[in-house]
């Protein structure tokens, strides 16, 4: 692994990546909470916006199980970009600059080109996952479409659709793992250093490779927290999304020199 990363260094001039303790993600959450409390209005504004958008999307997909599940899992794919405004708030606070909602939007405009390219990449991955989800439903799910209120119980927990559940989790998990590895610190790095997308993505992959334990814990915490947001019909997302977003900024600052 070290040899391959050294080769990448010569081609992309990657910044040095630190190794952290497995429990370090808990500290990121604590620092993220402090940032959110210090910028409550701006942070919760992003939480409200994305909670409303998420609720509308889920309501639209209620009668389409493949789209409903793809929307929930797809949120984890686009989440790193969705939280860009929260990274900007933490970045400005760290520098002693104004960190209001309006000022964070202005900050996003300054990095518009890089964020647009990265957004195109994530949109491609999201569309690909939506198509894969539809294909998996067509191949492995042949029952009568259940009511969405009982969908997860009847399909994922009943034991009657083992092949579908396994294939869905394996394919979706592999795609989510790839996007996580390439995204975990990419967007904060694009905003902080005006880096190019390839360098940011390779640095992110390197950070994951050097900190497998901590990154596994961080991924699990993100899934649990965002999952709680969905379980509360997006109400909890108002607080949980800003918390994860601010914590992600501190993860980047901790991992990348």
Ordered mean pLDDT values, 10 residues apiece, the chain (257 residues): 48 82 96 95 94 85 72 80 91 86 85 84 85 78 59 65 77 87 92 87 94 95 91 91 96 94
In this prediction, residue 5 carries a pLDDT of 46
In this prediction, residue 9 carries a pLDDT of 45
Confirm if 188 and 15 have CB atoms less than 8 A apart. no
Q: Of the candidates 240, 191, 189, which has an alpha carbon nearest to the alpha carbon of residue 44?
A: 240
Q: Of the candidates 241, 243, 214, which has an alpha carbon nearest to the alpha carbon of residue 226?
A: 241
Number of CB atoms found within 10 A of residue 102's CB:
10
Total residue length of the chain: 257
In this prediction, residue 37 carries a pLDDT of 95
In this prediction, residue 123 carries a pLDDT of 85
Ramachandran category for residue 9: left, alpha or beta (phi over 0 → left; psi -120 to 50 → alpha): alpha
Q: Of the candidates 171, 165, 97, which has an alpha carbon nearest to the alpha carbon of residue 130?
A: 171
> pTM of the entire structure?
0.83
């Amino acid at each position: 692994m070290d040899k391959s990363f050294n080769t990448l260094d010569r081609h992309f001039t990657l910044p040095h990546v630190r190794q952290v303790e497995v429990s370090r993600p808990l500290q990121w959450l604590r620092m993220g909470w402090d940032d959110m409390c210090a910028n409550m209005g701006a942070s919760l504004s992003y939480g409200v916006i994305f909670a409303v958008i998420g609720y509308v999307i889920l309501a639209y997909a209620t009668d389409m199980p493949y789209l409903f599940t793809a929307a929930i899992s797809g949120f984890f794919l686009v989440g790193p970009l969705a939280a860009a405004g929260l990274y900007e708030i933490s970045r400005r606070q760290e520098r002693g600059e104004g960190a209001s909602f309006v000022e964070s939007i202005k900050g996003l405009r300054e990095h518009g080109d890089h964020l647009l390219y990265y957004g195109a990449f994530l949109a491609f991955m999201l569309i690909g996952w939506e198509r894969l989800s539809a294909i998996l439903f067509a191949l492995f799910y042949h029952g009568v479409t259940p009511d969405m209120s009982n969908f997860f119980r009847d399909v994922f927990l009943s034991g009657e659709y083992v092949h579908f559940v396994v294939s869905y989790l394996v394919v979706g998990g592999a795609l989510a793992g790839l996007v996580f590895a390439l995204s975990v610190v990419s967007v904060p790095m694009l905003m902080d250093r005006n880096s190019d997308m390839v360098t940011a993505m390779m640095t992110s992959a390197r950070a994951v490779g050097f900190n497998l334990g901590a990154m596994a814990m961080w991924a699990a915490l993100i899934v649990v927290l965002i999952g709680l947001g969905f379980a509360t019909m997006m109400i909890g997302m108002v607080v949980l999304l800003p918390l994860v977003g601010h914590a992600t900024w501190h993860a980047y600052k901790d991992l990348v020199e």
